[in-house]
Amino acid sequence: MQLQQLLSRTRKAIDDYQMIQDGDSIAVGISGGKDSLTLLYALAELRRFYPAKFELKAISVNLGYEIDYSKIVKLCEDLTVELRIVDTEIKSIVFDIRKEENPCSLCSKLRKGAFNDSAKEFGCNKAAYAHHRDDVIETFLMSLIYEGRVHCFSPVTYLDRSDITLIRPLIYVNECDIVGFKNKYDLPVFRNPCPADGYTKREDIKNLIKQLDSEAPGIRDRLFRAVISGSIPTWIKP
């Protein structure tokens, strides 16, 4: 995927759901994966010409693993984005102290809390998450299959407890296109060190969608349309 295509889809999502207003200070969560680095790249480039002027910061929550951040630091310098690395003991809490059999839920809660707290300390009023189009579909199916409810995260969510607004500018971008963008622009992705990576319910849903798509081609498009044009309370355009 070319940069222009990425910017076009990102801007459409931002415009459709009024994600960014003039004067916003936005924190981008950097995990080191392809999604978050693509989001950082997109917003950094969009910042140059988007009508609503906004500031951009990058925050990486280190769960407690030994990670070489040098290439991420270099990317942020090239994009003129200030980076803050937040060291935590989340890995120790989840795996050593709590010994969670299903660690993803607690880890996600602690990681998001650390990120949101840091974003507020950074002076940001908004936080950008790198959920893409496939995440929308997978979350919708996970809620339906495992929780028995029609639900998906919202493109824009205000968190009153932390007084910060979450935005998801990549919801119109396919994961396969993000892979192409990462390869084309040589983004400095590093492997997720979590031992639970690849062994989650989300991974099961990914495989299910692949199977369904082979039997009923186009199911991804139909599922996405069901989310954005349906009556899910959390998914309503302004």
pLDDT of residue 181: 96
164-217 pLDDT, tens digit per residue, is 999 999 999 999 999 999 999 999 998 767 666 655 788 899 999 999 999 999
Among 15-19, 67-71, 227-231, 233-237, the minimum mean pLDDT is found in: 233-237
User: What residue spans define the domains of the chain?
Assistant: 3-133+152-195
Architecture of domain 3-133+152-195: 3-Layer(aba) Sandwich (3.40)
pTM over 0.75: yes
Closest CA to 221 of 233, 209, 232, 238: 209
Residue 195: per-residue pLDDT: 65
Residues 18, 144, 210, 33, CA torsion sign? positive
Nearest of 195, 233, 167 to residue 14 by alpha carbon: 167
| Three-class secondary structure of residue 183 per DSSP | helix
pLDDT in tens, 86-132: 988 888 888 778 776 677 778 788 888 889 999 999 999 999 999 99
